[in-house]
Chain A
């Protein structure tokens, strides 16, 4: 094994932090709906990709600034998330069934994406992609920096809302014991609709960040599921900061592995970490 230079190591760690931030951003909505709504929402990944394709469409064809597309995507996805949750409540979908139902929704969304944009690769060309900053010998690309900022702001804000507001306390109470929370005046149905809408909106934000940095293809939806699930499970269900911290831990571990050894070993890292967490702290999941 050749030891990497400090510059290579530093650049790899930065790369790991950036990809980890994206894992965290993907994991935020998934963790909230899994931990607080007891719904394992696989469609979260498809929604993120739908958000990415919409950002591509609005930006490339509609000539909108990619960040301004959030003004349309976030409210639209919020409404879609609420509508989806209304259907889940109407048919009393159980946590296990939610896995199957949302997988079905994922397939439908993937097919729709392929029908509209074909399976061809799509790349959002934006002026953001041209901007990068230098920190000594290290490079910090703007799209990745924006993703990190978005992940920190969103995860931090959600954590603050859950910890410090009545709304957050009500959400946590409803997740812990819905009947008792209802006895104290918590409207569980309304809160769960609100939370589901927020989770879908977070998927939209993750999608825009994805489009800023990655070439898109419909089948890429599935490439993210394994590692984001690992981040959510390591970070803790229902926790807004956990998936971000776990995502960055996984991202940096993978990147450092790639810097030291064969990059093919990198995927082993995230799943080895997951197995360790399951063995050492089984109550976390």
Chain B
């Protein structure tokens, strides 16, 4: 039997142990509370998460704001800024306001590459958008591929070279533009009252237009249209006098000029100086405003995806964009503030980005790319899809033929997209 003293001693020891364990528990609780407090400071609470969703979404890209493509680069810049403003007014992308950073790539692919490296490594942009022009897009594509970033672009003229799986063409063109575009143009001229029997194909050696002009030669051959002249010149050619003289001497029913930017104006000027206007003339990508001011460009044809008339303006978003672009273009001192191919494809690119981010409910590049591959997007230029090779459209595309009629560009082909009452005019 234990003595009373021993029993008291045991009780005292038990009491001491109990107090010690309570003290340990209190300390552990305090420590846990401290950890929780520290963690609560480190981990985002409801307020922090909300603040993050309000943090700007940084999207970067470059455009040719100076250099030979500067004229068109400015049009793209204004269209992009309008699109971003409108997206932000709708609440941004996934609740985050877009902060757009646009750098000037000086129309130089080498500068473009450096700028995209900077945008992704130094500026750490959340997303990037493609630049303007085939060479610059190819440069940006290489950088985007290295960092696994999705790249939306709209003016890439060599679809076979676009091999990066997370690049998407939003310009509405087919993968096989060398077949589709000449077919569209020759279909249009074949619908005229006097379909051409002979063609003169003259082209700049600028890669994309040269490539499509080679396709035009094939189309003419297939359709039994006799090629009476084929000429190539270097991009940047200054003297179009001898070229104009050769076109005049060829006496073709139809002149296909694979030309872009300032070249159509120079060629038309040179033909005017020797008193010649071809019966029917096509310029692939002219600067539409300045060309419209040349009286000798009357009835000239060109490619487009959008013009300022019905049915394009039946879309309320398009009509609003056109109105805003006119105002901004005038403020930016643009000689011509009309919305056509360039402004519309840039705006459509942002429409696609908005639809993809909202549809994927994510800003993750791979998730956005996966969503785009499975979906189509309605834009102001029409329904854009990526069912063709290299994420282009397949078989048909959104390109239409427009004609300069009474100083105004009207779509004349295909008929369902033609301006009300407009049809292709021939002499």
A residues with CB within 8 A of B: 4-5, 7-8, 11-12, 14-16, 18-19, 110-111, 114, 117-123, 125, 132, 139, 141, 144, 213-215, 217-220, 223-224, 227, 251, 254-256, 258-259, 262-264, 266-267
Contact = CB atoms under 8 A, between A and B. Distances in A.
B205 interface: yes
A121 B265 contact: yes
A18 B232 contact: no
Contact of B290 (A118, A144, A213, A215): A215
A219 B67 contact: yes
Given A120-B71, A123-B290, A141-B273, A8 B245 contact: yes
Contact of A119 (B71, B233, B234, B293): B71
B33 interface: no
Contact of B66 (A4, A119, A213, A227): A119
A215 B70 contact: no
Contacts, number: 133
A219 B231 contact: no
Contacts of B287: 120-121
Contacts of B74: 118-120
B238 interface: yes
Contacts of B68: 217, 219
B421 interface: no
Interface string B267-294: 0011001110000000000010110011
Contacts of B241: 11-12, 14-16, 18-19, 255
Given A15-B242, A262-B231, A132 B273 contact: yes
B266 interface: yes
Contacts of B233: 258, 262-264, 266
14 contacts: A7-B249, A12-B242, A12-B245, A15-B239, A15-B242, A114-B66, A118-B74, A119-B74, A122-B290, A259-B246, A262-B233, A263-B231, A264-B232, A266-B234
Contacts of A263: 231-234, 237, 242-243
A223 B236 contact: yes
A258 B67 CA distance: 27
Contact of B274 (A11, A120, A219): A11
Contacts of B290: 120-123, 215
Contacts of A5: 249
B205 to A, nearest CB: 6
Interface in B222-252: 231-234, 236-239, 241-243, 245-246, 249
B232 A254 contact: no
Which 4 pairs from chain A and chain B are nearest by CB? A15-B241, A119-B70, A258-B242, A263-B233
Given A255-B239, A263-B243, 15 more contacts: A8-B249, A12-B241, A110-B66, A119-B65, A119-B66, A119-B74, A120-B289, A120-B290, A120-B333, A123-B293, A132-B273, A220-B262, A263-B231, A264-B233, A266-B234
Contacts of A217: 68, 70-71, 262
Contacts of B242: 8, 11-12, 15-16, 255-256, 258-259, 263
A258 to B, nearest CB: 4
B273 A215 contact: no
Nearest to A260: B242
A63 B187 CA distance: 45
Nearest to A107: B66
B141 to A, nearest CB: 24
Contact of A215 (B67, B205, B266, B274): B266
B20 to A, nearest CB: 80
A69 B271 CA distance: 27
Contacts of B231: 262-263
Contact of A121 (B73, B239, B262): B262
Nearest to B205: A264
A232 B242 CA distance: 24
Contact of A254 (B65, B236, B239, B266): B239
Given A5-B249, A215-B269, A215-B290, A118 B236 contact: no
Most-contacted residue by chain A among B71, B236, B245, B269 (CB, 10 A): B245
A106 B335 CA distance: 24
Nearest to B233: A263
A266 B186 CA distance: 31
B334 interface: yes
A16 B265 contact: no
A122 B236 CA distance: 17
